Amino acid sequence: MARKGAGPTVGLVADIGGTNARFAYVEVGAEGDVRLEEPTGLRAHDYPGIEAAAEVFLGRAGRRKLDFAAAACAGPVIDGEVEMTNLAWRINADRFARALGLPHVLLLNDLAALAWAAPLLTAADLVEIGPSPARRAAVGEPLLVFNAGTGCNAAAFTANGAGRPLVWVGECGHTNFAPSDETELEIWRRLTARFGHVSLERLASGPGMLNLYEALAEIAGAPALCRTPPEVAERARAGDALAGAAVDRFCRILGAAAGDFALTFGARGGVQISGGIAPTLLDRLQGGGFRQAFEAKGRFSDYVAEIPTFVITHPYAALVGGAHAAFVLAGS
């Protein structure tokens, strides 16, 4: 891939989650500006692997000469390979590169890609969550991205002492869920009986919303009529009390976890919530429960109260981040 100061380069970028496989061509300018072309979403479960899904995209979008490729994947990258957490794919960087006719492919965690995108997103790509007063991101401080989708994870974008971008990512969604009141303790007990280990992802994700709904139904002795996460959200919008309680609890748990990770990373540069769920729940997130839980940090409540929180509405942020990472790392 061309380095800063050279002409524009064309690449293929992919964002592979537990549900969707998104692809696009990307043109990266001499100064690192990113322009997506032909962004396309496919159902990941319809394909045996990334090579087959990419072949469909290339056939639809028209084949172009590639200078580079990058793939953001929902799972830990270990020795150039990702075993997807919520999808039966094993993605190998060398194998994918051979399929594309390239010497190598940049393989990165999907949250790492979102963190690489975070500083490039504009006001048009974000909706601020939280009542007045307006909060200002601290310039130069870490910026956190917290994802709630098919899975759950977080990553931070920061810079070292020389100003070089750095991204930190782990598997935060698989840390232990921490109940914050008696209702959440009851939810935890029921999910412990069901799953053994109750990770944050068991609640702060699409499947987690359904888990919450079913646990609250059991606590209330009420029938659980919803069978999928979208049904829970739809019934909540229609005024169903049990579904509404599950969605509101989901927003509180999301806020509490985002505040925990903001403290963990010192994310005074702001917190961005990614994934397909939050943009559909903006009214519930703005209702107050998210920020109340985000700020309920005891002696450090004032610290997190100053941190702005946003929902990412850009539909292809991880593709932008994957291209940005490829550009920056090519100059390493």
Tell me the pLDDT of the chain (332 aa) as tens digits.
444 445 568 999 999 988 899 999 999 887 778 889 999 999 999 999 999 999 999 999 998 999 999 999 988 899 999 999 888 999 999 999 999 999 999 999 999 999 999 999 999 999 999 865 667 888 889 999 999 998 899 999 997 666 688 899 988 999 999 999 999 999 999 999 999 999 999 999 999 999 999 999 999 999 999 999 999 999 999 999 999 999 999 999 999 999 999 999 999 999 999 999 999 999 999 988 999 999 999 999 999 999 999 999 999 999 999 999 988 887 65
Cross-strand partners of 129: 309
Asked if residue 133 has a cis previous peptide bond (ω within 30° of 0), the answer is: yes
> Which residue type does 283 have?
D
The per-residue pLDDT for 2 is: 42
The per-residue pLDDT for 160 is: 67
* Arch. (CATH architecture) of 9-118+316-330: 2-Layer Sandwich (3.30)
Residue 10 φ then ψ, to 5°: -115, 130
Token output for 26: 């990307």
Cross-strand partners of 65: none
Cross-strand partners of 329: none
pTM higher than 0.85, yes or no?
A: yes
Per DSSP, the three-state class of 53 is helix
Tell the burial category of 61 from Cβ atoms under 10 Å away from its Cβ (0-12, 13-18, 19+): middle
Q: In what order do the strands lie in the sheet with 81-83?
A: 77-78, 81-83, 90-92
The per-residue pLDDT for 1 is: 46
Q: Does domain 122-313 have CATH number 3.40.367.20?
A: yes
Whether residue 245 contacts residue 224, with contact meaning beta carbons closer than 8 Å, is answered with no
Residue 257 φ then ψ, to 5°: -65, -40
Give domain limits for the chain. Answer: 9-118+316-330, 122-313
DSSP 45: G
